[in-house]
Structure 1
Amino acid sequence: MPETSGWNGRTPETDVIDYRAAEQLLAARDPRGAVKLLDEVVAAHPENTAARLLRARAFFAAAQLRSAELEFSLVLEREPDNAFAHFALARTYERQSRPDRAQRHFRLAAALDPKPEFLKAARFDS
């Protein structure tokens, strides 16, 4: 009998397979399918920041902006120096027409990682 990781009989291998499949679904522009797989992974491993970040990206791609905002915020509670999460949260706020909140996170992303894309979005010169 294989060892299980939780109440639903999932194994660690199943969680890894679902995570990888969710990455593929997101790349194939099926964010809702990715969210379905990641819901179970996150339920089994709520502390897993990588799974939460991927689920946040899937929510964003599916235009589920409130859910994306919540997931990106959870990631940032655990990893406040995650430049990508700041940038993605800023894009989420931007799509919600919340420019002041977006600007703050664009600037944090650029300060943490001065990638050209982050610097351009931060608009430090304005």
Structure 2
Amino acid sequence: MDEMTLEAYERGQLFFDSGDFITAAQILEGVVEAAPDTVAPRLLLARSYYHSAQLQRAESALRGVIDRAPTEAYAHLMLGRTLQRLSRRDEARPFLKMAAAMSGDPDYELMAMLA
């Protein structure tokens, strides 16, 4: 990631941290375009979409993260939660179970059991 892209990522992180998820997403879209194989901006973009209720975009971004980093447990959790919010519980269940298995986090396991 070049210096300008890194600065844009950090700016997107600041907007995300302040709760301005739409502006964060707008900034991070450019970062992902400039560094398409870098997972961190893609995951933060997905989180921005999720928190701003842009759920189809969140789903697409999370699938992109999982394609690039299949062992990213948090991406599996987020995709499962996104699919739940889209009322696609049957599709969500395997992602939640995978997140629980990969992370060993009891909270992830609870979410998988409740799916």
The normalised TM-score by structure 2 is: 0.94
Structure 2: which amino acid aligns with 1:49?
V
- Measured after TM superposition, the shift of residue 49 of structure 1 is 1.2
Matched residues in 2 for 1:95 and 1:107: separation? 17
CA-based RMSD: 1.6
Per-residue Cα deviation, 1:91-122 (whole angstroms, up to 9, x for no partner): 00010001111111110000001112101101
Aligned partner of 2:44 in structure 1 is 54
Matched residues in 1 for 2:29 and 2:103: separation? 29
Matched residues in 2 for 1:116 and 1:26: separation? 26
Which structure is richer in relative contact order (CA contacts within 8 A, separation 6 or more)? 2
SS in 2 for 1:107: helix
- Measured after TM superposition, the shift of residue 16 of structure 1 is 1.0
Pick from 41, 44, 49 the counterpart of residue 34 of structure 2: 44
Structure 2: which amino acid aligns with 1:117?
D
Deviating runs (4+, > 6 A) in structure 1?
A: none
Pick from 24, 28, 49 the counterpart of residue 18 of structure 2: 28
Report how many aligned residue pairs link the two structures.
Answer: 115
Matched residues in 2 for 1:81 and 1:14: separation? 28
The normalised TM-score by structure 1 is: 0.86
Matched residues in 2 for 1:43 and 1:73: separation? 16
SS in 1 for 2:104: coil
- Measured after TM superposition, the shift of residue 17 of structure 1 is 1.3
SS in 1 for 2:100: helix
Q: Check if 1:17 corresponds to 2:7.
A: yes
- Measured after TM superposition, the shift of residue 86 of structure 1 is 0.2
Equivalent residues in 2 for 1:1-126, closer than 5 Å = 12-123=2-113
44-53 or 57-66, larger mean C-alpha shift:
44-53
Matched residues in 2 for 1:39 and 1:80: separation? 21
Identity level (%): 34
In structure 2, runs of 5+ residues without a counterpart are: none
